[in-house]
Structure 1
Amino acid sequence: MPVTPDRWNDLERLFGPRGACSGCWCMWYRIKRSEWSSNANAGNRRAFKQIVDSGGTPGLLAYVHDQPSGWVSVAPREDFSSLERSNVLKRVDDKPVWSIVCFFVSKEHRRQGLSQALLEAAVKYAAEHGATLVEGYPVDRLEGKKFSSVEAFPGSVASFRRAGFREAARRSPTRPIMRRRVRPRPKG
């Protein structure tokens, strides 16, 4: 379900007082790092709520038994200004893309396939809004290394592969840019 003002309380309940992780409120890729740090938890929350209240749809919520249980951030790449400032995640080319930058799943619903379902829903949502190319920036786990739930926020390469994404660029051993072509389709 798209995050809208009437679902804000559900998002707050899912993210909790820490804004999902370290006061992020899904602003990490949307603003400069210095602004993110100076905003802290309360400022990032206000900035994110302003996006939602202004009619923007910064992502989707998943519900399990009517409880908010998962989140995926999906929007046109232009909404995530810090991607361009990253040597690792800067544009591959000038094609218009939608970006999937972040996942958050409640502790009790992790390791149950919810992130994969959110990824598929994000691709569908992007296609329904005119996307022809969807991009993600998942973590590629180094052999033998586990990563924490905090490190896993961009998703895993394995999940993106299962969803039909292919590697488009790799400027870091652990952070490829993955893409999937989609056909724009009307909502429904």
Structure 2
Amino acid sequence: MTDTPAPPSFRIEALDSDTWPAFEALVQRHNGIFGGCWCLYFHPDCEEQGQSFEGNRLLKKAHVEQGTAHAALVMDGEEAIAWAEYGTPEELPTIHHRKQYDATSTTAPDYRITCVFVDKRHRRQGVTELAITGALEHIAAAGGGTVESYPHDLTHQTKKMSSSFLYNGTRRLYERLGFTYDRPKGLKNCVMITTVESV
């Protein structure tokens, strides 16, 4: 079953100091994204990371203020209802199944999309696709380049997986958006690639 199209009233905004309050509210409505986190996992390790919910909030805010955290926010009025995190490999060096990824990698991408999250009130409304498309638009505006993402590959899985576990969408979703399957990565994950032209 495919998602229904997102309402035309939704718009894309960049995560920055102006939109931080809306992003912060989205995270706090869910007691943290995916088990209490502020989506710091993919950023470089530091001593402060993982110390506390409040500590992680401040660390994520610092990344945003310093311009080292990027995301496309899906906005419904003044409320953020979804996001897609993206950045360069330097900004987001940590990925799941890193050992296997490095062993099969030949060229580093210009950008990565590492995490997608949708407010539980707006799932199955096409918002995931809108967030990813928004990230690609921001990447195009920044000069474009090769983009990788690491979705779940459910091609041969018959049992349905809860959307709350799909932290980066599915292979089929990325294929609809023009990504090409590159290789497997870990259990039920894969590497998808596309090239984004500069605008």
Q: Same fold (TM over 0.5)?
A: yes
1:107 paired residue number? 120
CA 148–40 in structure 1, closer or farther in 2 if over 3 Å, else same: farther
Instruction: Please list the CA deviations of residues 32-82 of structure 1 after superposition, one character each: whole Å capped at 9, or x if unmatched.
Output: 49975x423222212111001123342111112432111110111221121
The question of 1:148 aligning with 2:173 is answered no
CA distance in 1, matches of 2:113, 2:179: 12
The question of 1:118 aligning with 2:131 is answered yes
Shift of 1:117: 0.9
2:140 paired residue number? 127
139, 150, 170: which is aligned to 2:184?
170
CA 41–105 in structure 1, closer or farther in 2 if over 3 Å, else same: same
Contact 2:118 2:128 survives alignment (8 Å): yes
1:182 paired residue number? 196
1:15 paired residue number? 27
- The root-mean-square deviation of aligned C-alpha atoms, in Å, is 2.3
Equivalent runs, 1:14-33 vs 2, <5 Å: 14-16=26-28, 18-32=31-45
CA distance in 1, matches of 2:101, 2:54: 27
Contact 1:23 1:44 survives alignment (8 Å): no
Contact 1:165 1:179 survives alignment (8 Å): yes
The residue type paired with residue 107 of structure 2 is D
CA distance in 2, matches of 1:173, 1:14: 29
Instruction: Please list the CA deviations of residues 133-162 of structure 1 after superposition, one character each: whole Å capped at 9, or x if unmatched.
Output: 111000112511222233201111111000
The residue type paired with residue 175 of structure 1 is N
The residue type paired with residue 117 of structure 2 is F
Higher relative contact order (CA 8 A, sep 6+): 2
The question of 1:43 aligning with 2:55 is answered yes
> Any gaps of 5 or more consecutive residues in structure 2?
1-12
> Any gaps of 5 or more consecutive residues in structure 1?
none
Contact 2:82 2:128 survives alignment (8 Å): yes
Corresponding residue SS for 1:69 = strand
Contact 1:160 1:178 survives alignment (8 Å): yes
Shift of 1:25: 0.6
CA 169–85 in structure 1, closer or farther in 2 if over 3 Å, else same: closer
Aligned length: 184
Shift of 1:95: 4.1
Percent identity between matched residues is 26
1:157 paired residue number? 171
CA 21–73 in structure 1, closer or farther in 2 if over 3 Å, else same: same
Instruction: Please list the CA deviations of residues 72-122 of structure 1 after superposition, one character each: whole Å capped at 9, or x if unmatched.
Output: 101112211213871244372234421001111111110000000111111
1:64 paired residue number? 76
The residue type paired with residue 63 of structure 2 is I
